[in-house]
Amino acid sequence: MKTAKFGGSSLANATQLKKVAEIIKSDNTRRFVVVSAPGKRYATDQKVTDLLVELYQKRINNEATDDLITKIFARYEEISREFQIEKSILTEIYQSLESLKNLPTADNPHFFDEILSNGENNNAKLVAGVLQAEGVDARYINPQELGIFVSDEPLNARILSKAYPAMKNWRNSSEVLVIPGFFGYTEKGEICTFSRGVQILLGRSSLQQ
């Protein structure tokens, strides 16, 4: 069994996802596919993660986020047009983005984690749909179902030892499992993200406003 990891630039558009599908189809021992959020399509483009950082800042400042949610959703919708994916997948992605408007900001130490993880989580759903449309027996799997248990350290999670045997239980999966990268779940069921230069992301987003 092999694990394949694809970063944002490899998932930025439909052309890149077509390549990803061919890579997975070329080796049937690739059973775990870990994906990032969509990256830049061109030099001056914004990553979906950067757009989510902007959304976080708008929520903190009690500013409207509808236009930004539409902009983020358009990235997933654009990719999907090249594939015959189930319409329910796009509906689920849009609803997931909409739900970010209602996350509590007060007394919520995992608020930023929940927003940041949305990019990877939605892209895993999309990539699973693309693989299915390309004839691969694939499905999205949530990190909690997979058993990715992490320490309760917002934005700086560490994987717990109990996660390894839990994940090992999936080693003989007959399906290709598409897994969102970058986050796991605490033992209490809270989303926690791994560190990836959050302060740099915040600073970059502020400069772009």
> Which tokens hold the place of 111?
């608020």
Give the whole-angstrom CA distance, residue 150 versus residue 147: 9
In whole angstroms, give the CA distance from residue 196 to residue 190: 19
Question: What are the two backbone dihedrals, phi and then psi, of residue 79, each rounded to the nearest 5 degrees?
Answer: -65, -40
**Rg for the chain (alpha carbons), in Å?**
17
CA distances from 44 to 59, 78, 131, 162 (A): 25, 18, 29, 42
pLDDT for position 51: 98
Could you tell me how many residues make up the chain? 209
pLDDT in tens, 14-38: 999 999 999 999 999 999 999 999 9
Structure tokens at 116: 């940041």
End-to-end Cα distance, the chain? 44
* pTM given for the model: 0.92
CB atoms within 10 A of CB 74: 10
| Rounded Cα distance, 111 and 108, in Å | 5
**DSSP for residue 28:** T
Residue type, 167: M
Mean pLDDT value across residues 84-90: 95
What residue ranges define each of the domains in the chain, with the CATH number in brackets? 2-208 (3.40.1160.10)
117-152 confidence digits (pLDDT tens)? 999 999 999 999 999 999 999 999 999 999 999 999
| Separation CA 192–CA 158 (nearest Å) | 9
Confidence bin at 203 (pLDDT 50/70/90): very low
Taking the CA atoms of residue 41, residue 205, residue 199 and residue 156 in that order, the dihedral angle to the nearest 10 degrees is -60
Residues 166 and 146 sit within 8 Å (Cβ to Cβ): yes
What is the mean predicted confidence (pLDDT) over 150-178?
A: 96
